[in-house]
């Protein structure tokens, strides 16, 4: 691994350690572009009362704001832990070029941050998931999709 890569990961790990003292969870992330950190994120779920305020998501939000774009091609993310399903989805949607992580999802599970139930739920048919789910008013909702599809001046993402 390159020397600067290790420094970026050390920064993410340092954020995760410091965040515990700041009433946050033990997770940190940094986003790098052109060899420089452009965004940092820590877990603020309980302190912000926001279940989406994971380190990776917070770093993505900061990087997008910093760059003025939703497309983070050309950037890499360093996370103190293997991302949960939500964060992994956000990383793909942000189009980050590369993901580095330190702790594994098993390490997280061992301290009671267990996301395995989400992976299991995603494999189940909708009618067998724990959260009761019912599709409704599809024909009405398709109006927005049809309008989007025919829009000629849309910004694709």
Catalytic residue among 6, 7, 11, 56: 56
Comparing CA positions, the residue from 108, 100, 10, 117 lying closest to residue 56 is 100
How far is residue 108's CA from residue 40's CA, in Å, rounded to a whole number? 20
Query: Which element (helix H / strand E) includes 20?
Result: helix 3-21
CB-count exposure of residue 64 (10 Å: 0-12, 13-18, 19+): middle
Sign of CA dihedral 24, 25, 27, 32: negative
Establish whether 62 is a catalytic residue: no
Q: What are the residue numbers of the active site?
A: 56
């Amino acid at each position: 691994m390159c020397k600067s890569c290790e420094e970026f990961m050390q920064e993410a790990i340092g954020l995760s350690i410091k965040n515990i003292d700041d009433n946050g969870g033990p997770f940190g992330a940094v986003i790098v572009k052109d060899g420089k950190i452009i965004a940092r994120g820590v877990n603020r779920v309980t302190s912000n009362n926001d279940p989406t305020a994971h380190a990776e998501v917070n770093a993505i939000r900061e990087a997008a704001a910093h760059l003025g774009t939703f497309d983070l091609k050309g950037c890499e993310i360093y996370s103190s832990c293997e991302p949960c399903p939500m964060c992994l989805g956000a990383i793909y949607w942000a189009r980050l070029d590369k993901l580095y992580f330190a702790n594994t999802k098993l390490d997280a599970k061992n301290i009671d941050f267990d996301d395995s139930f989400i992976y299991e739920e995603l494999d189940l048919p909708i009618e067998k998931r724990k959260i009761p789910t019912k599709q409704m008013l599809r024909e009405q909702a398709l109006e927005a999709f049809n309008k989007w599809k025919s829009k000629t001046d849309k910004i694709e993402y």
